[in-house]
C-alpha cells in the first residue's frame, strides 16, 4: 500500500530512540498516523512541528498497518505559530478538534479550512471567528450540522437571533420570545455576513458558547468526554489579544 498527499501536522509522539509517530490531517486520506524513521534527527525535528505543511508519502504492507511516512516540508508555519499564545494555543486547539474525526476518514473540506486557519492565528477576532466556524463545520461533517438560515417556527429568513438547543435550528425574535430564557443566542457573524468586520469578545463568546453546546451534546457527552482545557486557554488568549488591540 502506498499513497502521497498534502498534509498539515497535528502532533508527534516519540517512538524509540530516533523515530516519531507523526499525526497529520491530509487532503484526501483524513486524519492519519505513521512512523517517521529518524524523525528526532537534527534535520527532521524542525520540520515535524505542529502547523507545518508537508508533502507526505505513506507506505505499509497492509492497509490496516500503522505504516511509515516520508515527508518533505511544503509550508513552514511552526515558528510563527509559536511566537504568540494565540498561535500556540490555537494550533493545539485545532489539533484537539480534528482528533474528533475518525482516523483515515477523508474530510477534504475540513483540510482546506484548516489550511486557511493555521495562517490566520495572528489577530484575536479573526482567529476566534474562524475557530467557531471550524467547530460548526466539524459538527456538519459528522452529521450534526446546525441550520441557521431560516426560522424553525415560521420559515422567515430575517430577524434571526436565537438557536433552539433542541433542534439546532435558528429562531426569529418573535417566535422565540416566549422561550427566550431557554434559547441560545445566534451571533450576527454566523448569519451569513462575510469575514472582515471587527468582532468584539462578547460576540465571539456567544459563538463559542453556541458551538460548545452542540459539541458537548453530540460528541463529548455521548463518549463520556469533556471539552479539552486548551479550548479555554485559546479563548482567554483571544480576550487578551483583543484587550491589547483596543
Whole-number pLDDT of residue 127: 96
Whole-number pLDDT of residue 24: 98
- The number of CA neighbours under 13 Å toward the Cβ of 117 is 30
Whole-number pLDDT of residue 246: 60
Whole-number pLDDT of residue 196: 54
Q: Please give the domain boundaries of the chain with CATH numbers for all domains.
A: 2-76 (2.40.50.140), 81-148+186-245 (no CATH)
Whole-number pLDDT of residue 204: 96
Distance CA 132, CA 42 (A): 36
Whole-number pLDDT of residue 64: 84
Whole-number pLDDT of residue 198: 80
Angstrom CA distances, 193 to 18, 79, 119, 120, 174, stand at 49, 32, 21, 18, 22
Pairing of strands 184-185, 170-172: unpaired
Q: Which residues does 33 contact at the CB level (< 8 Å), separation at least 6?
A: 21, 22, 23, 24, 66, 103
Backbone angles phi, psi at 216, to 5 degrees: -65, -45
Encode the chain (246 residues) as per-residue pLDDT tens digits: 999 999 999 999 999 999 999 999 999 999 999 999 999 999 999 999 999 999 999 999 988 899 999 999 999 999 999 999 999 999 999 999 999 999 999 999 999 999 999 999 999 999 999 999 999 999 999 999 999 999 999 999 989 999 999 999 999 999 999 999 999 999 999 986 545 568 999 999 999 999 999 999 999 999 999 999 999 999 999 999 998 766
Closest residue by Cα to residue 51 from 33, 75, 68, 31? 75
Whole-number pLDDT of residue 197: 64
User: What global pTM score does this model have?
Assistant: 0.94
Backbone angles phi, psi at 172, to 5 degrees: -75, 165
Backbone angles phi, psi at 74, to 5 degrees: -110, -45
Backbone angles phi, psi at 33, to 5 degrees: -125, 155
Amino acid at each position: 500500500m502506498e499513497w502521497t498527499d498534502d498534509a498539515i501536522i497535528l502532533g508527534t509522539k516519540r517512538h524509540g530512540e530516533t523515530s516519531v509517530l507523526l499525526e497529520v490531517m491530509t487532503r484526501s486520506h483524513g486524519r492519519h498516523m505513521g512512523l517517521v524513521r529518524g524523525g528526532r534527527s537534527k534535520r527532521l525535528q524542525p520540520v515535524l512541528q505542529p502547523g507545518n505543511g508537508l508533502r507526505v508519502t505513506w507506505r505499509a504492507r497492509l492497509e490496516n498497518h500503522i505504516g511509515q511516512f516520508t515527508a518533505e516540508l511544503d509550508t513552514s508555519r511552526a515558528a510563527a505559530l509559536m511566537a504568540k499564545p494565540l498561535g500556540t494555543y490555537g494550533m493545539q486547539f485545532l489539533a484537539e478538534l480534528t482528533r474528533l474525526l475518525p482516523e483515515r476518514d477523508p474530510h477534504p473540506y475540513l483540510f482546506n479550512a484548516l489550511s486557511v486557519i493555521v495562517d490566520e492565528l495572528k489577530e484575536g477576532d479573526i482567529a476566534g471567528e474562524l475557530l467557531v466556524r471550524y467547530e460548526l463545520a466539524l459538527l456538519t461533517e459528522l452529521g450534526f450540522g446546525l441550520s441557521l438560515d431560516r426560522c424553525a417556527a415560521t420559515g422567515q429568513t430575517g430577524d434571526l437571533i436565537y438557536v433552539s438547543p433542541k433542534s439546532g435550528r435558528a429562531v426569529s425574535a418573535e417566535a422565540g420570545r416566549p422561550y427566550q430564557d431557554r434559547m441560545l443566542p445566534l451571533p450576527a457573524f454566523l448569519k451569513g455576513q462575510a469575514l472582515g468586520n471587527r468582532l468584539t469578545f462578547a460576540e465571539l463568546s456567544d459563538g463559542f458558547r453556541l458551538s460548545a453546546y452542540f459539541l458537548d451534546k453530540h460528541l463529548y457527552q455521548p463518549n463520556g468526554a469533556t471539552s479539552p482545557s486548551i479550548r479555554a486557554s485559546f479563548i482567554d488568549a483571544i480576550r487578551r489579544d483583543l484587550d491589547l488591540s483596543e
